[in-house]
Structure 1
Amino acid sequence: MITVSIVEDDPDIRESLALLINGTPGYACIGAYPNCEKGIKGILKDPPDVVLMDIGLPGMSGIEGIKILKEKMPELDILVLTIQSDDRVVFQALCAGACGYLVKDTPPARLLEAIRESYDGGAPMSTRIARMVVESFRVTPETSLTQRETEVLTHLCKGQSYKTIADELFISEETVRRHIKNIYRKLEVHSKSEAVAKAFKEKLVSL
């Protein structure tokens, strides 16, 4: 059972998301909050597996909420679900600690799939967001990463889980984790989302 909490100020959208999640076998909505202030308090008290976070919220922004939650719960998976899709907001969210980024016209089936991908260690993005990211950055030849580390980072930026990366590269999950640990150290980051954001920002990968 994948547990989900929602932070969304629109009551109709919030209710629709909760109904979708609770109506799908294997998923359960354990919290639905209208703003970050209430969301943070509720999520810290009753942590879910995945948080669906809006960005444009009254009071504290979703990006600030992500930062606070990730500081207090580094392992928490936070999936952005918003109408905002400009590159500045996308990278602010990723740098804050979001594991993925979806726009609100995402079909219900894809949203549920993205929640599971987040739970499994992936970094799901809406097609238009992924395309925007790819088109905005080019690969740079200068990097301290080894060829294998760059390959692992590239797969990580595609939103793939550790298991999928291991299967794609014909290595063990433990080897993937070792490479990712080295990537974190070399890039001076502390999470998957920070590594992905830095990879795009510094043009370390070509998708």
Structure 2
Amino acid sequence: MLEIWIIEDNVQFRRATARGLSVLADDASAREFGSCEEAIAAIDDGQSPDVFLMDIDLPGMDGIEGISEIKQRLPDATALILTVFEDDEKIFRALKAGASGYCLKTDTIAKIREAVEQVLQGAAPIHPRIAGRVLKMFAQLSPEQPDYGLNEREQSVLEAMTRGLVRKQIAAELDLNLHTLDYVTRCIYRKLHVNGATAAVALAIRERLVEPPEA
């Protein structure tokens, strides 16, 4: 059973989103939480999501801190930001915390469902308006290229990730089996000190580890 969690304090929006996502697949289940604390308590009680949608502005613990706390407990759980915020600092902090995608609440439920499908395939969906700002923000940062010790294969996988290729596409393009690709991807995350694909791509663009894709 595919477990999707929605962490959102707006009851009406949360329930509407849960109903929409419940039709993602016959074996999908959408659960609702009004705060990060509620979701973390469920995790500490032995429950876990495959993917969780997180608002940023929440009562108590905010969504960015919540992502960090949940990823510490469940490193393989996938985080997708779903918010009204477009603040540059919040965008960067969310990606750094381990978010694998960034959607806006103004997106249609079809777009949100598509983003969930994409992150489960290993892609990093970001709302086009946010993606343009991310690229511009990173382009203004230092052009220096620190050495993270990536080998040739890791560099090729990272470059493919920046082009938006999903897991199966990367494996096919680089002639790798999926188990090898997963190992290489974990090595990339460890060397870059990040928690997910979106943060790896953001860091690669920011620090010129690869040629930045066109916005």
Q: TM-score, normalization: structure 1?
A: 0.86
CA contact (8 A) 1:80 1:101 kept: yes
**Aligned partners of 2:145 and 2:165: how far apart in 1?**
24
Aligned to 1:8: 8
Can you give the 5+ residue segments of structure 1 that lack an aligned partner in the other structure? none
Q: Counterpart in 2 of 1:35?
A: 35
Identify the residue that residue 128 of structure 1 maps to in structure 2.
Answer: 129
RMSD: 2.5
Gaps of 5+ in 2: none
Once residues 181 and 201 of structure 2 are traced to their aligned partners in structure 1, the CA distance between those partners, rounded to angstroms, is: 15
Following superposition, the deviation at residue 92 of structure 1 comes to: 0.5
Which deviates more from structure 2 when the two are superposed, residues 48-57 or residues 151-160? 151-160
Structure 2 residue 74 is matched with structure 1 residue 73: yes
C-alpha offsets along residues 49-94 of structure 1, whole Å, 9 cap, x if unaligned? 1101100111110011111101111111111100111221111011
- Which residue identity is paired with 2:39? G
Distance 1:152 1:88, change over 3 A: same
CA deviation profile, 1:115-142 (whole Å, cap 9, x unmatched): 1111222221111112222233349573
Range moving further from structure 2, 120-129 or 171-180: 171-180
For normalisation by structure 2, the TM-score amounts to: 0.83
Counterpart for residue 199 of structure 1: 204
Is 1:142 the counterpart of 2:145 in the alignment?
yes
Once residues 55 and 128 of structure 1 are traced to their aligned partners in structure 2, the CA distance between those partners, rounded to angstroms, is 17
| C-alpha contact 1:22 1:28 (8 A) present in aligned 2 | yes
* Cα pair 1:21 1:27 within 8 Å, conserved: no
Further displaced range: 129-138 or 108-117: 129-138
The reply to whether residue 113 of structure 1 matches residue 114 of structure 2 is: yes
Percent identical across equivalent pairs? 38
